[in-house]
Amino acid sequence: MALDDTAYPEIRSAVRDICAGFGGGYWREQDRRRRYPAEFVEALTKAGWLAALIPEAYGGSGLGVAEASVVLEEIQRQGGNGAACHAQMYVMGTLLRHGSDEQKRRYLPRIARGELRLQAFGVTEPNAGSETTRIQTTAVRKGDRYVVNGQKMWTSRFHQSDLMLLLARTTPYDELEDKTRGLSVFLVDLREAGDRIEARPIETMINHSTNAVFIRDLEVPLEDRIGDEGLGFRYILDGWNAERILIAAECIGDARWFVDKATAYAKERVVFGRPIGQNQGVQFPIARSHAATEAADLMRWRAARLFDAGRPCGPEANMAKYLASEASWDAANVCLDTHGGFGFAAEYDVERKFRETRLYKIAPISNDLVLAYVAQHVLGLPKSY
Ligand SMILES: Cc1cc2nc3c(=O)[nH]c(=O)nc-3n(C[C@H](O)[C@H](O)[C@H](O)COP(=O)(O)OP(=O)(O)OC[C@H]3O[C@@H](n4cnc5c(N)ncnc54)[C@H](O)[C@@H]3O)c2cc1C
């Protein structure tokens, strides 16, 4: 099979069919009103795409990251925004890999059917973003439960989740020799949390349901801890490669959308008596963006193949996320330049997509930290952070 933008044609065409019901006007309206695209997410859920990575034994489709990445790429390429629901695909990975049989049986089939939404992921805090091991939210064991106190920042899709995966400190930082230990992961049932958790929406540059979350004396039963106490950071790290690959695919979808849009406009817009695309100053940046996108896509496929074969893929997944987010940001700027003043008009969707794709140079991990990882773990340079 050719690993390019024709791979998995059936998945592409099925996702395109769904996206056809949610055109630019729909996304502009959600963006303008800062509204969660509930109907779009519902349509994807009903069609089973958000259960792509859940094994068939638990009611999912049992597909690989390669196939799942095509779903997200295609949403972005059609001008949509998969950020509203991409986490429903991958947050459950921590439960799948490290949860007990009982936890998996209890939750995964209902997540696969879309009855339970597990798409909130509480890791980042006001004082701990890139440096995850510094988180301060505590979970103190009291008999058969933990009592959680603290604050999370940027917890996206909180109000659109029934369950939240929460990383909290179970051993004080100063008592640890190995600072990557002492954190644990919990599956928090938000429907039962009542006033123990308060989420305050953060107004942002993009339409993204994200929140500051305040947790006061929240009781979490022991049975809702995932895996062993103290190994939570490792469990979360395990899930990051899948997330990086899926985000890379979204960026590639965005980049292709920008390149297509810029190309079409450069052919039709006539200035000084000829199409602007006849000028090398206009066509070369578009061609360069296309080349950068195709190159990033090769790294995405390499990472996805390794991941699906169960082989280590940290360098490839990180490099795919880096290359793809840089390519989509470059393509966004080229597309805006190509459109001149019209790029700023909302009805062209360029300014919306421009804002949306910018996120991926910063989140879920900033590209600086990706470079620090490559420098240290791939090239053997001294740790810089
Ligand atoms: C819209 C949005 C949604 C998000 N959703 C979630 C979510 O659902 N769940 C969640 O847990 N988090 C979420 N995040 C948080 C996101 O993962 C963090 O913003 C990201 O990890 C960066 O952390 P920070 O913002 O604290 O930046 P900081 O860690 O404060 O870094 C600030 C800047 O300094 C740079 N920097 C820091 N240290 C170094 C170094 N040693 N070398 C070079 N550069 C360095 C960084 O690259 C960055 O550019 C979201 C963020 C946004 C904006």
Each residue's pLDDT tens digit, 101-127 = 999 999 999 999 999 999 999 999 999
Pocket residue to mutate for ligand 1, from 118, 134, 362, 383, most atoms within 8 A of Cβ? 362
Find the angle CA(383)-CA(366)-CA(122) to the nearest 5 degrees: 105
Each residue's pLDDT tens digit, 249-292 = 999 999 999 999 999 999 999 999 999 999 999 999 999 999 99
- pLDDT band with cut points at 50, 70 and 90 for residue 1: confident
Check residue 145 and give its pLDDT.
98
In the numeric block, which tokens belong to residue 25? 């006007």
- pLDDT band with cut points at 50, 70 and 90 for residue 361: very high
The rounded Å distance from CA 128 to ligand 1 centre is 8
- Among protein residues, the one with the nearest Cα to ligand 1's atom 23 is 129
Least confident of 1-5, 28-32, 86-90, 261-265: 1-5
Ligand 1 surroundings by CB, under 6 angstroms: 121-124, 129-130, 154-156, 204, 208, 210, 359, 362-366, 368-369, 372, 384-385
| Exposure b/e, 267-305, CB count within 10 A at least 16 = b | eebeeeeebbbeeeebbebbeebbebbbebbebbbbbbb
Check residue 28 and give its pLDDT.
98
Q: What is the mean pLDDT of the chain?
A: 97
Each residue's pLDDT tens digit, 122-144 = 999 999 999 999 999 999 999 99
Check residue 322 and give its pLDDT.
98
Q: Do 50 and 85 contact (CB within 8 A), yes or no? A: yes
238 pLDDT exceeds 90?
no
From the list 40, 88, 374, the residue with the least C-alpha distance to 243 is: 88
The rounded Å distance from CA 322 to ligand 1 centre is 14
d(CA 382, CA 267): 49
Atom number, ligand 1, closest to the C-alpha of residue 157:
8
Q: What is the mean pLDDT of residues 90-111?
A: 97
- pLDDT band with cut points at 50, 70 and 90 for residue 15: very high
- pLDDT band with cut points at 50, 70 and 90 for residue 3: confident
- Among protein residues, the one with the nearest Cα to ligand 1's atom 1 is 208
The rounded Å distance from CA 242 to ligand 1 centre is 18
The rounded Å distance from CA 269 to ligand 1 centre is 39
Q: What is the mean pLDDT of residues 4-29?
A: 97
From the list 140, 119, 143, 123, the residue with the least C-alpha distance to 132 is: 123
2 pLDDT exceeds 90?
no
